[in-house]
Amino acid sequence: MRRFFHAAERSLSLSLFREAERLVENFYRLKTGGVREHRYDVKTLVDLKEHEMSDRAFAHLCRYRYHKENREDHPGNFSFFSICLQDDRIIDAIERSRPFVRLIPLVFYIATHELVHIVRFATGESDFEAPQDERIREEEQVDVITRKILRPVADSNLGIVLDCFDDRYHIGDVFTHGDYSALT
């Protein structure tokens, strides 16, 4: 049975991405708003399509491509990412680890982790369509980077998340999604 964030949890979760953007921009030395230039949106379970849902991760990253005039080489072509939060997986993790893990620090970690993926994919630092073994290495690398970004600002609640959810868990999922031409 799918469980969804309440309106306040949903709003709070989405707002945490703005703070995560600031940290990721500082880490990568991007100008303010630089992460948003890589085109992404954030959705929670209530807004997800079937292919955006995952039972393996707290967030599922999808890439969509827009092709102008169905030409691969058109300068108006672009890609954008959709970070698909899996409310039910997040709620379950919080309930199983109560009272230690809380919504704000867990979603803050997830937001930072997914934004690191987006920067790496959008800049060519990593390949969204990489083979499975490279995707596993990408997850490990992104986890290391995410922790490097968050450790200096971690309070005790975020510290618990960093300790509890290490690379043995699927914080983000770059394994089961592909490209969808939803905008053509």
- In tens, the pLDDT along 108-140 reads 999 999 999 999 999 999 999 999 999 999 999
Which tokens belong to 172? 């983000």
State the average pLDDT for the chain.
Answer: 88
Cα 86 from Cα 54, distance rounded (Å): 7
pLDDT number for residue 167: 53
Q: Whole domain around residue 149: which residue ranges?
A: 7-170
Task: Grade residue 182 by pLDDT with cuts at 50, 70 and 90.
Answer: very low
| pLDDT score recorded for residue 172 | 43
Secondary structure percentages of the chain, helix, strand, coil, to 5 = 50, 15, 35
The first and second tokens of residue 51, run together, are 């292919």
Counting the structural domains of the chain, the total is: 1
Task: Look at residue 42 in the predicted model and tell me its pLDDT.
Answer: 97
Percent share of the chain, pLDDT over 90:
73
Residue 59 burial by Cβ neighbours in a 10 Å radius (0-12, 13-18, 19+): buried
Query: Is 140 part of any domain?
Result: yes
CA gap 37, 70 in Å, rounded: 23
- Assess if residue 182 is contained within a domain: no
Q: Is residue 145 part of a domain?
A: yes
Note whether residue 54 is domain-resident.
Answer: yes
Residues 6+ apart with CB under 8 A from 10: 4, 44, 46, 87
135 belongs to a structural domain: yes
pLDDT at residue 1 in the model:
76
Is residue 29 one of the residues assigned to a domain? yes
176 occurs within a structural domain: no
Q: What is the pLDDT of residues 51-71, one digit of tens each?
A: 999 998 999 999 998 887 777
